[in-house]
């Protein structure tokens, strides 16, 4: 195994922190997308990444049909009959009227029913007066009104779902409407994670002074569970180089990505740095963001490695900004940028220049105005301000003070629907 520190644009613990975008670029450039696919029945593909462009073999709708309950007519015949016709048959959804429409006839149609031959409009039943077996039609009519045309939703040979999209409930509807029972999806990559720290104890143990329960493994589980990946929780590792090397070597045989938390800040980084350098190519970065300044990124054997900070809020933010993108690239998920909104802050905000800051906030819309308030104390150990948040307030690197009433950029999450 090589003992080599990769020569990147920023060397280990460089006092000049690396910009967020540069770190993202570096990570994305280094990741090679996986190619493995598996074929699954469509219901099992929910949340999975589509492996090939999916083409339609049908038109949807497959026949002209009625958009309303009403009467199918021929406009010319209706005019000839002075807008008065007689009902001579019914076309129900699934039970078409098979004869051709002639002379003074209208056919009753239900929503979704086949439009009978020679009909060119459907009139809603509410618009038609019925007196003594005669139907009295309105004079204002348009050709093709209330008719759903063949192929108006999907045409034969259209690409209906693109490679890289994530299957959702609407996709299941489309696939089933096309009679597609199975599709290829990208295989789930294996993501291993473990926490590091001598202070971490199992929840079965009573807490003694200085010890804490591990939050990060549960947080990572929660973050990863939303993604099409196989999650491997590899437990807790003590702050010892030897044990760490063993664990990382083991994980690197069995994972596409390894995530650790803790042990990457300057204070206690030596043992993790040494361990990682013995195993693979690792870059230690200070990234110009808050929370989440320290980050280790590299490769151990065939596994990509992310060493996230130990503070839970920093671990979440660095996961969302960096690891998430890496996973998306690895399984070929189509680029999906997060949404940014503008909102008026209800608090004075301050920060140091030189770092982008992601404050935790609560976003609301009051009388059509976007408002945002900080959701609690902003320390990177304060998990409650994250659990009470529904957005990040993103303050640019060059910003130092923001006054109550100023506009800020907000990145919402956990939005309804």
Residues forming contacts to Mg ion in the complex (CB under 5 A) are 197, 262-263, 310
The dihedral of CA 192, 195, 196, 198: what is its sign? Answer: negative
Q: What ranges make up the beta strands (E) of 3-148?
A: 37-41, 54-55, 65-66, 70-73, 84-91, 105-109, 121-124, 129-131, 134-136, 147-148
**CA dist list (Å): 84 to 99, 154, 354:** 20, 36, 78
Distance in Å, CB of 236 to ligand AMP, minimum: 7
Report residue 23: phi and psi, to 5°: -65, -45
* Residue with the CB atom nearest ligand AMP in the bound state: 310
* Identified binder of ligand AMP from the candidate list 27, 154, 178, 200, rule CB under 6 A: 200
The entry of Mg ion, ligand AMP, none that residue 189 binds, CB within 5 to 8 Å by partner kind: none
H runs (alpha helix) in 178-289: 216-225, 241-254, 269-279
The dihedral of CA 353, 355, 356, 358: what is its sign? Answer: negative
* Chain centre distance of CA 221: 17
The entry of Mg ion, ligand AMP, none that residue 283 binds, CB within 5 to 8 Å by partner kind: none
The entry of ligand AMP, Mg ion, none that residue 215 binds, CB within 5 to 8 Å by partner kind: ligand AMP
The entry of ligand AMP, Mg ion, none that residue 81 binds, CB within 5 to 8 Å by partner kind: none
Nearest to ligand AMP of 291, 376 (CB atom): 291
The entry of ligand AMP, Mg ion, none that residue 309 binds, CB within 5 to 8 Å by partner kind: ligand AMP
How many Cβ atoms are within 10 Å of 405's Cβ, its own excluded? 10
**Applying CB under 6 A, does 215 fall inside the site for ligand AMP?**
yes
Nearest to ligand AMP of 51, 312 (CB atom): 312
* Identified binder of ligand AMP from the candidate list 207, 211, 212, 339, rule CB under 6 A: 212
The dihedral of CA 226, 227, 232, 236: what is its sign? Answer: negative
- 242-281 residues in contact with ligand AMP (CB under 6 A) are 261-265, 267-268
Estimate the share of the chain in helix, then strand, then coil, as percent rounded to the nearest 5.
25, 35, 45
**CA dist list (Å): 132 to 74, 86, 89, 236:** 21, 10, 17, 84
Nearest to ligand AMP of 262, 412 (CB atom): 262
Containing 386, the helix (H) or strand (E) segment is: helix 383-387
Could you tell me which residues come within 8 angstroms of residue 267 by beta carbon, excluding any fewer than 6 positions away? Answer: none
* Identified binder of ligand AMP from the candidate list 199, 243, 320, 373, rule CB under 6 A: 199
Distance in Å, CB of 198 to Mg ion, minimum: 7
The entry of ligand AMP, Mg ion, none that residue 164 binds, CB within 5 to 8 Å by partner kind: none
Of 54-62, 195-203, 281-289, 355-363, which segment contacts ligand AMP by CB under 6 A?
195-203
Place of tokens 């990769």: 6
For 399, the token pair is 């910003």
**Applying CB under 6 A, does 307 fall inside the site for ligand AMP?**
no
Nearest to ligand AMP of 180, 201 (CB atom): 201
| 39 in Cβ contact with 186 (< 8 Å) | no
Of 135-143, 308-316, 330-338, 389-397, which segment contacts ligand AMP by CB under 6 A?
308-316
**Applying CB under 6 A, does 216 fall inside the site for ligand AMP?**
yes
* Identified binder of ligand AMP from the candidate list 116, 309, 361, 412, rule CB under 6 A: 309
Distance in Å, CB of 199 to Mg ion, minimum: 7
Distance in Å, CB of 8 to ligand AMP, minimum: 21
- 345-374 residues in contact with ligand AMP (CB under 6 A) are none
Please spell the DSSP secondary structure of 264-323, one letter per residue.
Answer: -SGGGHHHHHHHHHHHSEEEEEEBSEES--EEEEEEETTEEEEEE-SSHHHHHHHIIIII
Q: Which residues bind ligand AMP (CB under 6 A)?
A: 195, 197, 199-200, 212, 214-216, 261-265, 267-268, 309-312
């Amino acid at each position: 195994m090589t003992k080599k520190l990769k020569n990147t644009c920023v060397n280990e613990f460089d006092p000049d922190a690396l910009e967020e975008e540069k770190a993202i670029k570096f990570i994305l450039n280094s990741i090679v997308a996986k190619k493995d696919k598996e074929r699954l029945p469509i219901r099992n593909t929910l949340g999975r990444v589509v492996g090939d462009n999916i083409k339609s073999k049908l038109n949807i709708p497959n026949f002209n049909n009625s958009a309303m309950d009403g009467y199918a007519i021929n406009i010319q015949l209706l005019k000839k009959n002075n807008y008065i016709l007689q009902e001579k048959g019914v076309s129900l959804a699934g039970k078409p009227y098979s004869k051709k429409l002639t002379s003074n006839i209208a056919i009753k149609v239900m929503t979704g029913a086949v439009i009978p031959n020679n009909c060119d409009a459907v009139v809603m039943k509410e618009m038609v007066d019925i007196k003594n077996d005669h139907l009295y039609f309105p004079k204002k009519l348009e050709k093709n009104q209330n008719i759903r045309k063949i192929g108006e939703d999907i045409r034969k040979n259209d690409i209906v779902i693109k490679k890289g999209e994530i299957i959702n409930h609407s996709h299941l509807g489309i696939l089933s409407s096309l009679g597609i029972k199975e599709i290829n999806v990208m295989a789930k990559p294996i993501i291993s994670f473990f926490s590091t720290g001598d202070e971490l104890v199992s929840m079965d143990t009573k807490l003694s002074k200085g010890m804490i329960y591990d939050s990060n493994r549960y947080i990572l589980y929660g973050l990863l569970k939303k993604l099409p990946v196989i999650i491997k929780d590899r437990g807790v590792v003590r702050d010892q180089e030897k044990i760490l090397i063993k664990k990382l070597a083991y994980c690197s045989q069995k994972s596409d990505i390894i995530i650790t938390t803790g042990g990457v800040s300057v204070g206690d980084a030596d043992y993790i740095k040494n361990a990682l350098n013995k195993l693979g190519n690792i870059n230690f970065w200070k990234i110009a963001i808050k929370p989440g300044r320290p980050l280790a990124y590299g490769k151990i054997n065939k596994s990509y490695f992310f060493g996230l900070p130990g503070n839970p809020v920093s671990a979440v933010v660095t996961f969302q900004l960096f690891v998430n993108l890496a996973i998306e690239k690895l399984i070929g998920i189509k680029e999906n940028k997060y949404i940014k909104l503008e909102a008026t802050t209800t608090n004075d905000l301050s920060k140091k220049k030189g770092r982008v800051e992601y404050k935790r906030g609560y976003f609301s819309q009051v009388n059509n105005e976007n408002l945002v308030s900080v959701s609690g104390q902003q320390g990177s150990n304060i998990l409650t301000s994250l659990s009470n948040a529904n957005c990040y307030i993103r303050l640019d690197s060059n910003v130092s003070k923001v006054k109550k009433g100023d506009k800020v950029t907000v990145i919402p999450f956990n939005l309804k629907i």
